[in-house]
């Protein structure tokens, strides 16, 4: 886990904050590239980047240039992928409980469908979908999430279908003229145990064999989904990618993975200025410019994000709560956190802010989303402007009958 106050080829985060203002999200493309290549080199897989982690167009275009495909869960994410230059055939469309309109969008776009249920496949057929290469999402009955809210397998998970329904789906696809077949399973969320992925690979291969025997088809594409984890807390072990070399040649066909967090998570930094330090009884509250409107993971999941005071990195340590400006008492980015002594105006850097930060942000309390900057080597540039107050009313109209 990097805890420095510079990124890329030595670009100072303090200088970036002074140049672009704060709050600010910074993405280190050097780290993105290293993460991408590490996964490819160790697994030998084709990577379809999970757009839901971070849909910034600059990141998408950069990953496309490295050879990645795109994993989309909605028409909006398909649109982003196309705008970034991905070819339709390099976009995997994995949605759950899609409406007819959303299915039709994917058909018109010409992307590869990964169907979450046999009913979704039936609806697509009724809307004119002609299967050639088709994937189905199978629930292997085994999936690990880092918290209860991200359960990914079993009856308590809304995703995928059990093997008996999958068999019927493949039979229908064969009947309707499919030529190539893929199988997909969601492995987990932020898993750091490499052996876990090898177990999922075995379950996926065995499920594919059952389907092939029952239906009389050949599955040639094996999609293990995402779930590759990154350490958020100091001292947490990193995912041992060397163990994933066991995935090379494991399947009798193409191996596909859909990482998001692993590629961009530790490449992102949220820069915020301290607005106020308040002492209240035994508590010390450090107020910063952005809260749950930008980084909701601590409030939603109890997630941990490490923080560094880049204005005073070696100062005496004190225990504080780092809080945002939102009118909710749950708007706490860190509770009882040890930080180098903080003063008003200091620059705090929140690490691992590349995934599920901007993509989960909102305008709650009329707060504006921050700008995003990308860094590559010594170069840096704005990748998305910060919102203005005018953006809060974009698309809104006051009906004529309201005085």
Q: Compute the distance between CA of residue 254 and CA of residue 97 in angstroms, rounded to an integer.
A: 27
The topology under which CATH files domain 29-265 is: TIM Barrel (3.20.20)
The pLDDT of residue 154? 60
* Residue limits of CATH 2.40.37.10 in the chain: 267-387
320 Cβ contact partners less than 8 Å away, ≥ 6 residues apart: 284, 285, 286, 334, 336, 337, 339, 342
DSSP state at residue 371: P
The pLDDT of residue 259? 97
Residue with tokens 């004190």: 318
The pLDDT of residue 267? 98
The pLDDT of residue 158? 84
The pLDDT of residue 150? 43
The topology under which CATH files domain 267-387 is: Lyase, Ornithine Decarboxylase; Chain A, domain 1 (2.40.37)
- What sign for the dihedral angle of Cα 139, 144, 145, 147? positive
Q: DSSP letters along 188-257, please?
A: BSSB--HHHHHHHHHHHHHHHHHHHHHH---EEEEE----B----STTPPPP-GGGGGGGTTTSSSEEEE
Q: Compute the distance between CA of residue 169 and CA of residue 188 in angstroms, rounded to an integer.
A: 23
The pLDDT of residue 153? 52
Task: Give the pLDDT means over successive 10-residue stretches in the chain (403 positions).
Answer: 79 97 98 98 98 98 98 98 98 96 98 97 97 95 52 67 95 97 90 94 96 98 96 95 96 97 98 98 97 97 96 93 98 97 97 98 98 98 98 97 95
The pLDDT of residue 142? 62
Q: Compute the distance between CA of residue 28 and CA of residue 92 in angstroms, rounded to an integer.
A: 26
Q: Compute the distance between CA of residue 377 and CA of residue 81 in angstroms, rounded to an integer.
A: 25
Q: DSSP letters along 278-325, please?
A: EEETTEEEEEES--TTT--HHHHH-----EEETTSTTSPEEEEEEE-S
The pLDDT of residue 143? 53
List active site positions: 327
Assess contact for 28 and 10: CB atoms under 8 A: no
Structure-token pair, residue 203: 């379950």
Q: Examine residue 28 and say whether the peptide bond preceding it is cis (omega within 30 degrees of 0).
A: no
Output the CA–CA distances (angstroms, integers) from residue 215 to 164, 318, 396, in the order listed: 11, 64, 52
Assess contact for 267 and 250: CB atoms under 8 A: no
């Amino acid at each position: 886990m990097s805890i420095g106050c510079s990124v890329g080829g030595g670009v100072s985060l303090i200088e970036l904050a002074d140049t672009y203002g704060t709050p600010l999200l910074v993405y280190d493309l050097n780290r993105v590239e290293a993460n991408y290549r590490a996964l490819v080199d160790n697994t030998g897989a084709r990577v379809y980047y999970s757009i839901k982690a971070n849909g910034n167009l600059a990141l998408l275009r950069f990953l496309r240039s490295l050879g990645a495909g795109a994993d989309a869960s909605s028409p909006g994410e398909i649109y982003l992928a196309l705008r970034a230059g991905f070819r339709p055939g390099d976009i995997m469309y994995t949605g759950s409980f899609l409406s007819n309109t959303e299915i039709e969008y994917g058909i018109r776009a010409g992307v590869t469908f990964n169907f979450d249920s046999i009913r979704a496949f039936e609806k697509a057929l009724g809307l004119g979908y002609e299967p050639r290469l088709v994937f189905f999402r199978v629930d292997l009955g085994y999936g690990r999430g880092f918290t209860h809210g991200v359960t990914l397998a079993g009856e308590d998970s809304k995703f995928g279908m059990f093997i008996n329904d999958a068999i019927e789906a493949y039979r229908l696809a064969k009947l309707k003229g499919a030529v190539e077949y893929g199988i997909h399973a969601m492995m987990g969320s932020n898993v750091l145990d490499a052996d876990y992925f090898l177990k999922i690979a075995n379950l996926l291969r065995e499920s594919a064999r059952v389907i092939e025997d029952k239906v009389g088809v050949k599955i040639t594409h094996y999609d293990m989904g995402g779930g590759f984890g990154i350490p958020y807390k100091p001292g947490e072990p990193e995912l041992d990618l060397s163990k994933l070399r066991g995935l090379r040649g494991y399947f009798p066909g193409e191996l596909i993975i859909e990482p998001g967090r692993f590629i961009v998570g530790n490449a992102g930094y949220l820069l915020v200025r301290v607005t106020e330090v308040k002492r209240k009884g035994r508590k010390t509250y450090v107020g910063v410019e952005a809260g749950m409107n930008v980084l909701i993971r601590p409030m939603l999941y109890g997630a941990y994000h490490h923080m560094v005071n880049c204005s005073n990195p070696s100062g005496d340590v004190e225990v504080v709560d780092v809080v945002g400006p939102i009118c909710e008492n749950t708007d706490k980015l860190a509770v009882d956190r040890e930080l180098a002594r903080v003063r008003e105006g200091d620059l705090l850097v929140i690490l691992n802010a590349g995934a599920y930060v901007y993509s989960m942000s909102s305008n709650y309390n009329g707060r504006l989303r921050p700008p995003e900057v990308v860094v590559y080597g010594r170069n840096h540039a704005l990748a998305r402007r910060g919102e203005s107050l005018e953006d809060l009313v974009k698309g809104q109209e006051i009906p004529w009958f309201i005085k």
